[in-house]
Structure 1
């Protein structure tokens, strides 16, 4: 009888543990929570088109919209940069409070192709940065994003780049605030920014 009671208690405890684990594992995490926001402080130190090193510290006091991509990107990058351009246009007098940044994950080729011309074609406020391979890896790691080269005979130079497609919002204090998923409309990004300005 005592063994039977112990088995029941253990079964109940195991079930409770499984339920708790599932709740924690699958509970929808929001990127707006204080815990998420304090999880990491991304950083970069990368060259602009004139060779000047630009770092996160330089932009303290401004919101940053940061996107990692490459100039030969056929769809995700131009779509996202078009949304960012629309946001910058719609911010009107508040544009000085937001700095959009495009970080190249294909720096050698993008410098050759003209990164500054590429970003300015979308909006003059978008700053294009392209560092060394090590600097790029360091920046990507700090933002917790993935990128990698993929062979593609149909792409320019025979390769393309796979990468995380999120647009990151960094606060004036340098803290990560949230990630906008690919395809987030400019109106939604604008609304979020305006609520913080």
Structure 2
């Protein structure tokens, strides 16, 4: 099946779920993903607080993102190996999400760990270079009164480190974080080898506020969704 056909089919299937089709509980979905997606890590705790700003100077806090499922990751634009690949993976996931009714319920957030080099002009160009859609994507950096390592400290609060060397290179892991509409940190997807459809499926459950098991379940919807890709 061609990619366009797959996206149309996934939009139809996910769209039905978004608009009320019965789904598994989040607990059951966690168990299925853990069995199928070795890079998936379920979490359930409050996401760390932050105050950061966009390239245009607008302040963004977690409270401003409430009501949206947030897909968040850390990068720095002078990285020439894994960061561009991570951004393009996020763009692939965003493209899948934005082809469904979830588009208005999900925000994609990139945070720079190199505020000195990642100036507003650099940040503005990064999204279009890597295929990210400005409709529901934002690139954040430190505010003017914050220390240069503030976003690396935030990365540590989310469980991983960007360790900066004297030549400006940062050693770091690759993690995609998912935060629910109430601001709770619900999952990590580690590395670049996870299946994008697994993250999209998890996000779909969060947009549906799936928490408790339903008495009736639509058997096989996850398998049908995954088989499209």
Tell me which of 79, 84, 105 is aligned to 1:78.
Answer: 84
- 2:58 is the counterpart of 1:52: yes
Q: In proportion to residue count, which structure has more helix?
A: 1
Secondary structure in structure 2 of the residue aligned to 1:79? helix
Secondary structure in structure 2 of the residue aligned to 1:61? coil
Distance (whole Å) between structure 2 residues aligned to residue 127 and residue 103 of structure 1: 8
**Aligned 8 A contact 1:63 1:98 in 2:** yes
RMSD, aligned CA:
2.1
- 2:117 is the counterpart of 1:101: no
Tell me which of 179, 195, 198 is aligned to 1:185.
Answer: 195
Instruction: Work out which of the two has the higher radius of gyration on C-alpha atoms and give 1 or 2.
Output: 1
Distance (whole Å) between structure 1 residues aligned to residue 120 and residue 63 of structure 2: 27
- 2:191 is the counterpart of 1:142: no
Distance (whole Å) between structure 2 residues aligned to residue 61 and residue 112 of structure 1: 27
Distance 1:72 1:134, change over 3 A: closer
Distance (whole Å) between structure 1 residues aligned to residue 57 and residue 206 of structure 2: 32
Distance (whole Å) between structure 2 residues aligned to residue 173 and residue 193 of structure 1: 13
**Aligned 8 A contact 2:111 2:139 in 1:** yes
**Aligned 8 A contact 2:74 2:110 in 1:** yes
TM-score (norm 1): 0.72
Tell me which of 159, 166, 170 is aligned to 2:168.
Answer: 159
Aligned to 1:194: 204
- Give structure 2 stretches of 5+ with no counterpart: 1-37, 208-229
Distance 1:110 1:81, change over 3 A: same
Distance (whole Å) between structure 2 residues aligned to residue 159 and residue 166 of structure 1: 21
**Aligned 8 A contact 1:65 1:168 in 2:** yes
TM-score (norm 2): 0.63
Tell me which of 90, 108, 128 is aligned to 1:120.
Answer: 128
Distance (whole Å) between structure 2 residues aligned to residue 193 and residue 127 of structure 1: 18
- Which one scores higher on RCO, CA 8 angstroms, separation ≥ 6? 2
Distance (whole Å) between structure 2 residues aligned to residue 51 and residue 116 of structure 1: 12
Distance (whole Å) between structure 2 residues aligned to residue 196 and residue 137 of structure 1: 27
Q: Which runs of 4+ in 1 moved over 6 A?
A: none
**Aligned residue pairs: how many?**
159
Aligned to 2:180: 171
Distance (whole Å) between structure 2 residues aligned to residue 64 and residue 51 of structure 1: 20
Shift of residue 144, structure 1, vs aligned partner: 2.7
